[in-house]
């Protein structure tokens, strides 16, 4: 068994969209994602995101089997998520965190492979050596393995949005955080 984390280009992501969607569907089914949500990820979100500035995708392969992935890109005004956060988060958070940030969009590991440090390894590979001043993401407001991972990795809750917690970390990853 040869397990490795590799970076895929946008072209590799699009060529492997079915494989990524399969992992997405299984990983997020526990959170209520449906087949329709997985189809939207495969046919709408993934192709759109892969074209964004500073797109980065890391995957974990076990031999050639895809068992997890994470990706993100530079968030910017005019993008749905960035605009939504700008509308909903406190002004101080918007001023201090939005703009030039790296948006962590997805981090998924097949349930059968969870609990082995793969999510943390993907997280760290995704954020390694980014040129952005900060990274942002939104996650469930309740206790989940993903939320615990982000907190263990030093992410800080910045704001409660209507259906998620906005979290941030300063980059480079592991850099000192503001008081």
Q: 71 catalytic, yes or no?
A: no
- Half-sphere exposure of residue 57: CA atoms within 13 angstroms, side-chain side: 24
Can you tell me which residue has the tokens 């910017």?
76
CA–CA separation, 41 and 48 (whole Å): 10
Catalytic residue among 24, 71, 73, 150: 150
Beta partners for residue 56, in sequence order: 72
CB under 8 Å to 172, separation ≥6 — which residues?
129, 130
Can you tell me which residue has the tokens 């569907």?
25
Q: Which residues are catalytic?
A: 150
């Amino acid at each position: 068994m040869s397990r490795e984390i590799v970076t895929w280009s946008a072209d590799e992501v699009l060529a492997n969209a079915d494989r990524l969607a399969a992992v997405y569907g299984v990983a997020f089914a526990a959170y209520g994602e449906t087949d329709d949500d997985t189809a939207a990820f495969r046919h709408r979100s993934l192709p759109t995101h892969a074209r964004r500035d500073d797109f980065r995708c890391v995957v974990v392969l076990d031999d050639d089997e895809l068992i997890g992935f994470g990706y993100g890109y530079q968030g910017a005004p005019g993008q749905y998520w960035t605009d939504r956060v700008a509308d909903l988060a406190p002004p101080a958070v918007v001023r201090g965190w939005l703009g030039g940030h790296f948006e962590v969009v997805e981090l998924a590991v097949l349930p059968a492979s969870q609990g082995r440090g793969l999510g943390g390894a993907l997280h760290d590979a995704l954020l390694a050596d980014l040129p952005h001043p900060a990274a942002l993401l939104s996650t469930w407001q309740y206790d989940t393995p993903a939320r615990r991972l982000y907190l263990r990795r030093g992410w800080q809750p910045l704001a409660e949005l209507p259906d998620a917690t906005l979290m941030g970390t300063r980059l480079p990853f592991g850099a000192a955080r503001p008081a």
